[in-house]
A and B are shown apart, each in its own frame.
Chain A
Amino acid sequence: MAETYPINIWINEERFEKLQQAGLASMAKEKMAGLKVLPVPTNEEQKDKILKLFPMAKFDSATTKSIELLPREVKDRIFDLIIQKKTLDVIDDFIKMVEEERK
């Protein structure tokens, strides 16, 4: 299976409630002393596109192999898509949405 690079969406109570309602609570993992995180997978191509669309983001190649430092609003939109579509497989849709907006 090809390697994936997660976007870590950190889960507070409000986000956890929405995940529960969408039946996705089990997708949240525990990380760093019990903190909940929703790792949204991206493939190599999606990772590169995200980093290009949001230059402030950073791929943490040293420690976590994840895409970090995406602004909160961006993560909120990805999270909302996940809740709406009830799946973590939303990155292509998200990229398309952003590209459309920027045309």
Chain B
Amino acid sequence: MDNIGHGGKEIVERILPRDEAVKKVEELKQKGAPEIEVRRQIATEVIDIAYGFFCPLEGFMGKADVDGVCKNMRLADGTVWSIPIVFDISDEELSQKGIKEGTEVLLTYMGNPMALFEVSEVFTYDKQEMAQNVYGTTEEKHPGVKRTYAYKDKFLGGKITLLNPPKINPVFEPFFIPPLEMRKRFQEKGWKRVVAHQTRNVPHTGHEWLMKGAWFQTYGELPIDKPYVGVLVNAIIGEKRVGDYIDEAIVLAHDMLRKAGYFGEHNHMTSITFWDMRYAGPREAVFHAALRTNLGLTHHMYGRDHAGVGTYYGPYDAHNLLMSIQDDLRITPTFSMNWLYCPHCGEVTYEGLCNHKDEWQKYSGTLIRSIIIDGVKPPRLIMRPEVFDVVMECAEKYGFGSPFVTEEYLEKRTPVFTIEPLK
């Protein structure tokens, strides 16, 4: 497998070796370079840029890229890109720190040096226009729009170099597999094709079958003498809201599907990507295609209403948008209808197959959560007992008694990653 990522560009990690990074920080401090303590969202995007998750981006976008992304869903060089990756800053901070084009800024997180930001552009952008173009609405109740409106008044564009890689906390550490490392793992496994399963959920059997269905779709005409196809669960780890599943439960429950034998080492892996979901529906689907291309995947499963919210997008808008740009992508979308339980068949089946329509019992994320809240173990046809057990174990170990995010979890949880002092 080569290391060519989204847009046909080579994936290059923008990370300085530790000794050089220490020197660079000393140099920046000596010359009195401005420092900016970044918030968690920006810190995660710095990591994504530096490790190549966002290839071909080498930094935060300048105005031409933002404009191209908003208006044409393309970067200034014509590469398909659907969501602006921006670094916002207030006028006050800008003048206070004397930042202008050409300034080298030391980004810090948790009070420690994190990255070098070579500012090449300072610009403004109409946030309403950004919201309308990216999310198709200017309504603030859309979480992506709300995030856009919360951006400060100015944006900085420029290249990022990571000086101090994150320390991933033990639960998540094995699952943080950046693009270049991920590609090596796929090679070691001998997988010729890998299909992505995007998730922010604890898996019920509907999810399991979405993955299994995608595996069949991806396998296609390949020979069956050896396992040539894998499913990569790529959990999005980012901003949490009260009521979401806790991150630990999502990741460990997915991993349990393999450990408990519903998949195997030969066809399944679990991984994480840091990203705050924008719920941009079809545009987020395109963004996920770029992200997973960079991770080395060849296929991406898209179900109904991928990454949507409320009623902003039609259930298959993402499919249609992806089909319209297929020639510009280096990943093949596999589209899926819903899986459901049919009491007549006595099994989990597929909307496109089963004809006992009046008897169908559809999965509802809300309903499954309701069962879990009641502490009732669902039948194994609906949720695997090992998955249920690990979710409840996570509730005790990491969730302060709840598998769902609470105010207490938000306040006291161990962060997914930290930036340690640079020595």
Contact = CB atoms under 8 A, between A and B. Distances in A.
Interface of A: 8-12, 31-35, 56, 58, 60, 62-64, 66, 68-72, 75
A9 B382 contact: no
B375 interface: yes
Nearest to A74: B373
Interface stretch (B114-122, B274-282, B320-328, B359-367): B359-367
Given A10-B374, A32-B379, A69-B369, 17 more contacts: A10-B370, A10-B371, A10-B376, A12-B374, A32-B361, A32-B378, A32-B382, A33-B343, A33-B379, A34-B381, A35-B371, A58-B366, A60-B367, A66-B367, A68-B364, A71-B373, A75-B374
Contacts of A72: 373-375
A60 B364 CA distance: 9
B378 A12 contact: no
Interface residues of B, number: 22
A33 B243 contact: no
B53 interface: no
Interface of B: 242-243, 341, 343, 361-364, 366-367, 369-371, 373-379, 381-382
Contacts of B362: 63
Contacts, number: 67
Nearest to A13: B376
A22 B213 CA distance: 45
Please list the 7 inter-chain residue pairs (A to B) with the smallest Cβ-Cβ separation, ordered nearest first: A63-B364, A33-B381, A10-B376, A68-B370, A10-B374, A33-B379, A60-B366
14 contacts: A11-B376, A12-B374, A33-B378, A33-B381, A33-B382, A35-B379, A56-B242, A62-B364, A64-B364, A68-B366, A68-B367, A68-B369, A69-B243, A72-B373
A75 B370 CA distance: 10
